[in-house]
Amino acid sequence: MRYLILLMCLVGLCLWPTTLSLKICAFNVQSFGEAKANNKKVMAILTKIIARCDLCLIQEVRDSKGEAIPKLVKNLNKFDKSHSYAHLESKRLGKTTYKEQYVYIYRKDVLEVRDHYSLQEGGSNYTSLFTREPFIIRVHSPSTLVKDLVLVGQHTCPKNAMKEIEELYGVYTEISKKWKTQNVMFLGDLNAACSYITIKGWRAIRLRNDPKFHWLIGDEVDTTVRENTHCAYDRLTLLILV
Protein backbone atom coordinates (compact mmCIF):
# COMPACT_ATOMS: atom_id res chain seq x y z
CA MET A 1 0.00 0.00 0.00
CA ARG A 2 1.22 3.48 -0.78
CA TYR A 3 -1.11 5.82 1.12
CA LEU A 4 -3.17 5.79 4.29
CA ILE A 5 -5.41 2.83 5.04
CA LEU A 6 -7.91 2.21 2.31
CA LEU A 7 -6.27 -0.54 0.26
CA MET A 8 -7.45 -4.11 0.46
CA CYS A 9 -6.74 -7.08 -1.78
CA LEU A 10 -9.79 -9.30 -1.61
CA VAL A 11 -10.49 -12.65 -3.21
CA GLY A 12 -13.54 -14.82 -2.87
CA LEU A 13 -11.95 -18.26 -2.91
CA CYS A 14 -14.82 -20.39 -4.21
CA LEU A 15 -13.36 -23.83 -3.91
CA TRP A 16 -16.45 -25.66 -5.13
CA PRO A 17 -19.82 -24.43 -6.45
CA THR A 18 -21.83 -26.31 -3.83
CA THR A 19 -19.78 -25.19 -0.84
CA LEU A 20 -19.30 -21.89 0.91
CA SER A 21 -16.72 -19.44 -0.37
CA LEU A 22 -13.77 -18.30 1.69
CA LYS A 23 -12.86 -14.62 1.63
CA ILE A 24 -9.15 -14.05 2.16
CA CYS A 25 -7.75 -10.52 2.33
CA ALA A 26 -4.38 -8.81 2.61
CA PHE A 27 -4.20 -5.26 3.94
CA ASN A 28 -1.13 -3.06 4.38
CA VAL A 29 -2.43 -0.59 6.97
CA GLN A 30 0.78 1.49 6.87
CA SER A 31 2.29 1.99 10.31
CA PHE A 32 -0.63 0.69 12.33
CA GLY A 33 -0.02 1.45 15.97
CA GLU A 34 -1.20 3.51 18.90
CA ALA A 35 -2.06 6.66 16.91
CA LYS A 36 -4.38 4.93 14.45
CA ALA A 37 -5.83 2.69 17.15
CA ASN A 38 -6.86 5.82 19.08
CA ASN A 39 -8.41 7.44 16.01
CA LYS A 40 -12.11 6.54 16.07
CA LYS A 41 -12.68 7.37 12.41
CA VAL A 42 -9.75 5.25 11.26
CA MET A 43 -10.76 2.34 13.46
CA ALA A 44 -14.34 2.48 12.20
CA ILE A 45 -13.15 2.25 8.60
CA LEU A 46 -10.73 -0.57 9.39
CA THR A 47 -13.39 -2.49 11.26
CA LYS A 48 -15.88 -2.28 8.39
CA ILE A 49 -13.27 -3.41 5.85
CA ILE A 50 -11.90 -6.34 7.84
CA ALA A 51 -15.41 -7.50 8.74
CA ARG A 52 -15.84 -8.40 5.06
CA CYS A 53 -13.16 -11.08 5.34
CA ASP A 54 -13.03 -14.58 6.77
CA LEU A 55 -9.30 -14.00 7.21
CA CYS A 56 -7.23 -10.87 6.76
CA LEU A 57 -3.45 -10.48 6.81
CA ILE A 58 -2.59 -7.12 8.36
CA GLN A 59 0.83 -5.72 7.47
CA GLU A 60 2.97 -2.89 8.81
CA VAL A 61 1.83 -3.31 12.39
CA ARG A 62 4.18 -1.08 14.39
CA ASP A 63 3.04 -1.14 17.99
CA SER A 64 5.64 -1.80 20.67
CA LYS A 65 2.98 -1.77 23.40
CA GLY A 66 0.96 -4.52 21.71
CA GLU A 67 -2.38 -2.79 22.30
CA ALA A 68 -3.53 -1.75 18.82
CA ILE A 69 -4.45 -5.16 17.39
CA PRO A 70 -6.38 -6.38 20.48
CA LYS A 71 -8.35 -3.12 20.33
CA LEU A 72 -9.12 -3.70 16.65
CA VAL A 73 -10.24 -7.28 17.27
CA LYS A 74 -12.43 -6.12 20.15
CA ASN A 75 -14.06 -3.59 17.82
CA LEU A 76 -14.65 -6.31 15.24
CA ASN A 77 -16.40 -8.55 17.75
CA LYS A 78 -18.66 -5.67 18.77
CA PHE A 79 -19.38 -4.65 15.18
CA ASP A 80 -20.06 -8.12 13.74
CA LYS A 81 -21.79 -10.27 16.32
CA SER A 82 -22.55 -12.98 13.75
CA HIS A 83 -18.91 -14.13 13.92
CA SER A 84 -16.19 -14.51 16.53
CA TYR A 85 -12.85 -12.92 15.62
CA ALA A 86 -9.40 -13.87 16.87
CA HIS A 87 -5.86 -13.00 15.81
CA LEU A 88 -2.39 -14.49 15.47
CA GLU A 89 0.67 -12.25 15.32
CA SER A 90 4.30 -12.72 14.36
CA LYS A 91 7.29 -11.48 16.28
CA ARG A 92 8.53 -7.98 15.50
CA LEU A 93 10.56 -8.47 12.33
CA GLY A 94 13.29 -6.44 10.63
CA LYS A 95 17.05 -6.31 10.16
CA THR A 96 17.41 -2.81 11.65
CA THR A 97 15.76 -0.86 14.44
CA TYR A 98 12.75 -0.51 12.14
CA LYS A 99 10.40 -3.40 12.97
CA GLU A 100 7.05 -4.60 11.69
CA GLN A 101 4.66 -7.40 12.59
CA TYR A 102 2.35 -9.52 10.50
CA VAL A 103 -1.06 -10.22 12.03
CA TYR A 104 -3.73 -12.62 10.79
CA ILE A 105 -7.24 -11.69 11.94
CA TYR A 106 -9.72 -14.48 11.31
CA ARG A 107 -13.20 -15.74 12.09
CA LYS A 108 -12.61 -18.59 14.48
CA ASP A 109 -16.12 -19.94 13.88
CA VAL A 110 -15.16 -20.34 10.19
CA LEU A 111 -11.48 -21.26 10.32
CA GLU A 112 -9.18 -23.12 12.67
CA VAL A 113 -5.46 -22.29 12.81
CA ARG A 114 -3.65 -25.63 12.98
CA ASP A 115 -0.03 -24.46 12.97
CA HIS A 116 2.19 -21.46 12.28
CA TYR A 117 5.81 -20.34 12.10
CA SER A 118 8.09 -17.56 10.85
CA LEU A 119 10.79 -18.53 8.40
CA GLN A 120 14.01 -19.01 10.33
CA GLU A 121 17.49 -18.12 9.16
CA GLY A 122 19.70 -21.09 8.44
CA GLY A 123 22.62 -20.30 10.76
CA SER A 124 25.43 -17.89 11.56
CA ASN A 125 26.86 -18.03 8.03
CA TYR A 126 23.48 -17.64 6.35
CA THR A 127 22.08 -14.23 5.48
CA SER A 128 18.37 -14.24 4.76
CA LEU A 129 17.25 -12.45 1.65
CA PHE A 130 14.11 -11.35 3.45
CA THR A 131 14.00 -8.03 5.24
CA ARG A 132 10.96 -9.40 7.08
CA GLU A 133 10.71 -13.18 7.03
CA PRO A 134 7.34 -14.56 5.86
CA PHE A 135 4.76 -15.44 8.51
CA ILE A 136 3.25 -18.81 7.63
CA ILE A 137 0.06 -20.36 8.97
CA ARG A 138 -1.88 -23.52 8.22
CA VAL A 139 -5.65 -23.23 8.48
CA HIS A 140 -8.51 -25.73 8.38
CA SER A 141 -11.78 -24.80 6.67
CA PRO A 142 -14.50 -27.42 7.26
CA SER A 143 -17.04 -25.79 4.91
CA THR A 144 -14.96 -25.78 1.70
CA LEU A 145 -13.79 -28.56 -0.60
CA VAL A 146 -10.16 -27.77 0.18
CA LYS A 147 -10.10 -28.35 3.92
CA ASP A 148 -6.51 -27.33 4.60
CA LEU A 149 -4.66 -24.32 3.23
CA VAL A 150 -1.28 -22.76 3.99
CA LEU A 151 -1.01 -18.97 3.89
CA VAL A 152 2.34 -17.24 3.45
CA GLY A 153 2.19 -13.58 4.43
CA GLN A 154 4.96 -11.42 3.00
CA HIS A 155 5.73 -7.70 2.90
CA THR A 156 8.82 -7.23 0.76
CA CYS A 157 11.37 -4.46 0.99
CA PRO A 158 10.85 -2.39 -2.21
CA LYS A 159 14.52 -2.28 -3.20
CA ASN A 160 14.84 -6.06 -2.77
CA ALA A 161 11.40 -7.01 -4.09
CA MET A 162 12.60 -9.15 -7.01
CA LYS A 163 15.02 -11.17 -4.87
CA GLU A 164 12.48 -11.67 -2.10
CA ILE A 165 9.70 -12.77 -4.46
CA GLU A 166 12.08 -15.25 -6.09
CA GLU A 167 13.03 -16.59 -2.66
CA LEU A 168 9.36 -17.39 -1.97
CA TYR A 169 9.64 -20.37 -4.30
CA GLY A 170 12.09 -21.89 -1.84
CA VAL A 171 9.62 -21.15 0.95
CA TYR A 172 6.99 -23.10 -0.98
CA THR A 173 9.38 -26.05 -1.31
CA GLU A 174 10.06 -25.98 2.43
CA ILE A 175 6.35 -25.85 3.26
CA SER A 176 5.48 -28.74 0.95
CA LYS A 177 8.09 -30.90 2.69
CA LYS A 178 7.28 -29.75 6.21
CA TRP A 179 3.50 -30.09 6.06
CA LYS A 180 3.12 -32.50 3.10
CA THR A 181 0.81 -30.13 1.23
CA GLN A 182 0.73 -28.18 -2.00
CA ASN A 183 -2.29 -26.06 -1.13
CA VAL A 184 -0.46 -22.77 -0.64
CA MET A 185 -1.36 -19.10 -1.03
CA PHE A 186 1.16 -16.23 -0.98
CA LEU A 187 -0.36 -12.90 -0.05
CA GLY A 188 0.69 -9.41 0.89
CA ASP A 189 2.36 -6.24 -0.29
CA LEU A 190 5.04 -7.74 -2.52
CA ASN A 191 5.90 -4.42 -4.20
CA ALA A 192 5.50 -6.52 -7.33
CA ALA A 193 5.08 -3.81 -9.96
CA CYS A 194 6.26 -0.58 -11.57
CA SER A 195 9.82 0.47 -10.76
CA TYR A 196 10.46 -2.38 -8.31
CA ILE A 197 10.10 -5.20 -10.87
CA THR A 198 11.65 -5.23 -14.35
CA ILE A 199 10.58 -7.35 -17.32
CA LYS A 200 13.91 -9.16 -17.10
CA GLY A 201 13.37 -9.60 -13.38
CA TRP A 202 9.99 -11.28 -13.90
CA ARG A 203 11.63 -13.84 -16.20
CA ALA A 204 13.89 -14.96 -13.36
CA ILE A 205 11.11 -15.39 -10.78
CA ARG A 206 10.08 -19.05 -10.56
CA LEU A 207 6.90 -18.31 -8.66
CA ARG A 208 5.79 -16.24 -11.64
CA ASN A 209 6.87 -18.65 -14.40
CA ASP A 210 5.78 -21.98 -12.93
CA PRO A 211 2.30 -22.61 -14.45
CA LYS A 212 1.13 -24.31 -11.25
CA PHE A 213 0.93 -20.92 -9.55
CA HIS A 214 -2.01 -18.66 -10.35
CA TRP A 215 -1.56 -14.92 -9.84
CA LEU A 216 -5.05 -13.81 -8.89
CA ILE A 217 -4.22 -10.11 -9.10
CA GLY A 218 -2.90 -9.25 -12.56
CA ASP A 219 -0.23 -6.77 -13.58
CA GLU A 220 -2.86 -4.36 -14.91
CA VAL A 221 -4.62 -3.98 -11.55
CA ASP A 222 -4.06 -0.85 -9.45
CA THR A 223 -3.80 -1.84 -5.79
CA THR A 224 -2.84 1.65 -4.63
CA VAL A 225 -5.09 4.51 -3.53
CA ARG A 226 -3.06 7.45 -4.81
CA GLU A 227 -4.44 9.02 -7.97
CA ASN A 228 -0.98 9.45 -9.49
CA THR A 229 0.02 5.77 -9.23
CA HIS A 230 -1.26 2.69 -11.04
CA CYS A 231 0.70 -0.30 -9.75
CA ALA A 232 -0.14 -3.87 -8.75
CA TYR A 233 2.09 -3.86 -5.70
CA ASP A 234 -0.15 -6.21 -3.70
CA ARG A 235 -0.68 -9.78 -4.90
CA LEU A 236 -2.41 -13.05 -4.15
CA THR A 237 -0.73 -16.12 -5.65
CA LEU A 238 -2.37 -19.50 -5.32
CA LEU A 239 -1.46 -23.15 -5.83
CA ILE A 240 -4.26 -25.64 -5.11
CA LEU A 241 -4.05 -29.35 -5.89
CA VAL A 242 -7.32 -30.94 -4.78
CA–CA separation, 32 and 239 (whole Å)? 30
Burial of 161 (0-12, 13-18, 19+ CB in 10 A): buried
The residue from 100, 133, 164, 167 that is catalytic is 100
The residue from 133, 155, 164, 167 that is catalytic is 155
Are 46 and 209 within 8 A, CB to CB? no
CA nearest 88: which of 65, 57, 60, 63?
Answer: 57
CA nearest 103: which of 7, 9, 29?
Answer: 29
Active site residue 100: yes
Active site residue 227: no
Cα angle for residues 92, 100, 181 (degrees, 5° grid): 75
SS3 93: strand
Cα angle for residues 127, 132, 137 (degrees, 5° grid): 110
Are 52 and 10 within 8 A, CB to CB? yes
Q: Which residues pair with 116 in a beta bridge?
A: 137
> Amino acid identity, residue 224?
T
Contacts of 181 (CB under 8 A, 6+ apart): 138, 148, 150, 175
Are 12 and 216 within 8 A, CB to CB? no
Catalytic residues: 100, 155
